[in-house]
């Protein structure tokens, strides 16, 4: 099994660059300065989270269930992955997601799918 190249310098934490590529088949070697892919910047924990997220097809409830974490924790980890990949995280979308999740909880309460105590706990966890 091939080893994975680190995406960050173990000394200073800055992004590493690829300077040499080689082909195991024909032994061609290419040297230069190459940008690593955005996924290479992720640490092991972020890659594991992203794997579960993709396997769940982005279904946050499924990610919550599989990892045993709350909605805010899923959102926080997703934001962390996005930032590590160089994307800017917009606070407005986070607030909109929390509002949507709060509405889902209240709708589940109205349908009798959760108790009032459970709904209160879930809503408090969003804060």
| pLDDT, tens digit (0-9, with 9 covering 90-100), for 62-120 | 999 999 988 888 888 999 999 888 888 876 666 667 787 888 888 888 999 889 998 88
- What's the pTM value of the predicted model, to 2 decimals? 0.57
Q: In this model, does residue 55 exceed pLDDT 90? A: yes
The mean predicted confidence, pLDDT, of the chain is 85
53 neighbors 73 (Cβ within 8 angstroms)? no
Name the nearest CA neighbour of 19 among 29, 10, 32. Answer: 32
Q: Structurally, what CATH architecture does the domain formed by 41-126 represent?
A: Orthogonal Bundle (1.10)
Cα–Cα–Cα angle for 44, 78, 98, nearest 5°? Answer: 155
Residues of the chain with CATH 1.10.10: 41-126
pLDDT at 2: 65
- Cβ-proximal residues to 119 (8 Å cutoff; 6+ apart), any chain: 105, 106, 108, 109
Q: Which residues are CB-neighbours of 43 under 8 A, at least 6 positions away?
A: 7, 8, 84
Question: Does 127 score more than 70 pLDDT?
Answer: no
For the chain, the C-alpha Rg in angstroms (whole number) is: 20
What is the share, in percent, of the chain residues with pLDDT greater than 90? 30
Q: Is 30 helix (H, G, I), strand (E, B) or coil?
A: strand
């Amino acid at each position: 099994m091939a080893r994975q190249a680190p995406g960050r310098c173990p000394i200073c934490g800055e992004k590493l660059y690829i300077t040499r590529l080689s082909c195991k088949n024909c032994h061609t070697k290419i040297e230069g300065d190459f940008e690593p892919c955005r996924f290479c910047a992720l640490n092991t924990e972020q890659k594991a989270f992203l794997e579960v997220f993709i396997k769940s097809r982005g279904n946050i409830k499924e990610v919550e269930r599989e990892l045993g974490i709350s909605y805010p924790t899923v959102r926080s980890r997703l934001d962390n992955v996005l930032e590590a990949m160089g994307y800017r995280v917009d606070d407005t979308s986070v607030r909109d997601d929390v509002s949507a999740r709060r509405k889902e909880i209240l709708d589940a309460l109205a349908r009798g799918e959760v108790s009032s105590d459970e709904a209160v706990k879930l809503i408090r966890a969003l804060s």
